[in-house]
Structure 1
């Protein structure tokens, strides 16, 4: 037990020392969950994003989104609302400069609800985009993220760096 406590303290010290040499950010994202399905309109999702970027450009990011405006799908009994909720963790890379490129790869949990019928899934998610540095604390990013084979997320994100 004593060795476990010393190991945890060492990891906490190493993480706090590294935290001063990285950018931590929080922000909001909004975008279209583009569903590749006939007779279906895509929902608009709103979400929260947080992460950290190391001096090397590599980093970590977490994101949660939920449908702000439901999409619609033609169903046997008429139109059905389509809602998508996601929770993901990504490894990221950002290039340097006031205009930069960003890529991310990670694991994603999604819950898709169509007319009250809900199904969830977990899988790999991949995304990329371009970012704009509007000052020392504000970035705007435009991205495309593949949620699954037939769902993509076209999003705009504003983050504040700390």
Structure 2
């Protein structure tokens, strides 16, 4: 009988509105890295993210993404592959409702490769988007993130809350 009460209490805690409003999530993101340089075909990136959101809407998020389809740039008349990888940590905010607005601000490490040359940098990153709750545990989000002043990332994401 004691085990039943413990499991029932745990189940009640898990499905309570306060816990549903907060929680850990994992997700995937896909999008187009947008280089603001002439003559660059932009790479397509995939990534993973995890985070935690409080019932107030404030949260934290960590994201890694990398190019799965290289872009291309003309360098001295030759086509060179262009790729972007990044690892970032963000403070986030989501408004309430089935449709919501999301903002994020954080620190980012990026590595841009053009052919055999590579350049990396640390910096501040900011993003904004809209989202839709498919259910209490599943969300879709469309976002734009400014990686640096001349590189952006247009993305769509899907996340599962626990």
Q: TM-score, normalised by structure 2?
A: 0.87
Q: Which residue of 2 aligns with 1:5?
A: none
CA distances 1:17-64 after superposition (whole Å, capped 9, x unpaired): xx8972110000000000000111000000001000011100000000
1:136 aligns with 2:136: yes
Query: Which residue of structure 1 aligns with residue 55 of structure 2?
Result: 55
Residue 72 of structure 1 corresponds to 72
Q: Pick closer, same or farther for the CA change 1:140–1:69 going to 2, 3 Å.
A: same
Q: Provide the residue aligned with 2:22 in structure 1.
A: 22
1:105 aligns with 2:105: yes
TM-score, normalization by structure 1: 0.87
Partner of 1:151: 151
Q: Quick one: distance in 1 between partners of 2:34 and 2:61?
A: 22
Root mean square deviation of aligned Cα: 1.5
Which segments of 5 or more consecutive residues in structure 1 lack a partner in the other structure?
1-18
User: In structure 2, how many angstroms separate the alpha carbons of the residues matched to 1:126 and 1:132?
Assistant: 20
Q: What stretches of structure 1 move > 4 A for 4+ residues in a row?
A: none
User: Do 2:20 and 2:136's aligned partners in 1 also have CA atoms closer than 8 Å?
Assistant: no
Q: How many residues align?
A: 145
Secondary structure at the aligned position of 2:37 is classed as coil
Structure 2 unaligned blocks of 5 or more: 1-18
**Distance in 2 of aligned mates of 1:73 and 1:34:** 13
User: What is the Cα deviation at residue 77 of structure 1?
Assistant: 4.8
Secondary structure of the equivalent of 2:25? strand
Deviations 1:61-94 (A, max 9, x none): 0000000100000011500000000000000000
Q: Which residue does the alignment assign to 1:11? A: none
